[in-house]
Amino acid sequence: MRIVVVGAGSWGTAVACLLRDNGHEVTLAARDAAQADAMNTTGRNPRYVQAADLAGIVAAPIPDAPVVDAELVVVAVPSRVFGDVVSELPGDSPVVSLTKGLDPTTGARLSTLVRNRPVAVLSGPTIADEIVRGLPAAAVVASDDLELAVRVQVAVHSVLFRVYVSDDVVGVELCAAAKNVIALAAGGADGLSLGDNSKAALVARGLAEMRRLAESAGARPDTFAGLAGMGDLIVTSWSPSGRNRRAGELIARGAKPDEAAAEIGMVVEGLTTAPVLRDLAHRLEIEVPITEGVCAVLEGAPLTDLVTTLMSRAPTTE
């Protein structure tokens, strides 16, 4: 297949390599022309996952990428620009979203911003640097169009990257967004040295919070026990490479949110998603105490207040 990957960050680069390894003709489109030139010249991404060998992948600035001729367009850009990027894509090729977040302006799921073309969502526990090192992983592709979901599955699936199909787009997208917020809190537990018991309890209750919210939005319960739910939440909350976990840890140790993001040097989606997710929960009248607490901390409240608030909640059934 002729495939264009729009977004040359860590995950976009890793997926471009997966697709190249499966024999597809891949163009990796970068927002920065200088970055595209460097990738073509050196065969490496100068900014992200520099271990990735880009041989066989053509890099181009986004405006010059052959999107009209592509049989599939994979979009891996930050949530804050996702809507603008997909609205400017020429042609009518199907879109696969790799972005894990919500639209910060409207609170909409990102797949709903894709107009007049089929759309699928790929998500799961996928740390990019492990993918480019050839370590085994698995993900799920969700779409209302089963034929498209299977087409994406066949395009990406390999002996090292196992892909499952789902029709629960709502569940997969909301899991992908919400797990980043819970991971911020998990990183905060690391930063405060609260121990594994407290972190495990926080993540488990975070999964329950994610499930309440997404079920109210129409998602299926089984999605939360799968790769997009529990799988992605675990890796994001524990991996040293998890940006959101790391940001939470830095904030717990005194950094402001923008300082934490600057030190990490990559997009930390949870920082953008947290208030959007909280507002969605308010509209659905769903309790999300961990998300509420994360938002309070991002707005300046001490992280110790979040711990006290969560531990002081009235006892209840699980």
Of the chain, the percentage scoring pLDDT greater than 90 comes to 94
Asked if pLDDT for residue 316 goes beyond 90, the answer is no
DSSP strand pairing (119-123 vs 137-142): antiparallel
Residues 107-148 pLDDT 10s:
999 999 999 999 999 999 999 999 999 999 999 999 999 999
CA distance 26 to 71: 11
What is residue 97's three-state secondary structure? Answer: strand
Q: Is 199 in the active site? A: no
Which is catalytic among the residues 100, 179, 199, 256? 179
Tokens describing residue 145: 């169009």
Please report which confidence band the pLDDT of residue 60 belongs to, taking 50, 70 and 90 as the band edges.
very high
CA distance 292 to 299: 11
Do you know the residue count of the chain?
318
SS3 of 45-63: CCCCCCCCCCCCCEEEEHH
pTM score, two decimals? 0.93
| pLDDT value of residue 305 | 83
For the chain, where are the E strands, in sequence order? Answer: 2-6, 25-30, 58-61, 72-75, 95-97, 119-123, 137-142, 161-166
Scanning 193-288, the segments in alpha helix (DSSP H) are: 196-216, 232-238, 243-252, 257-264, 269-284
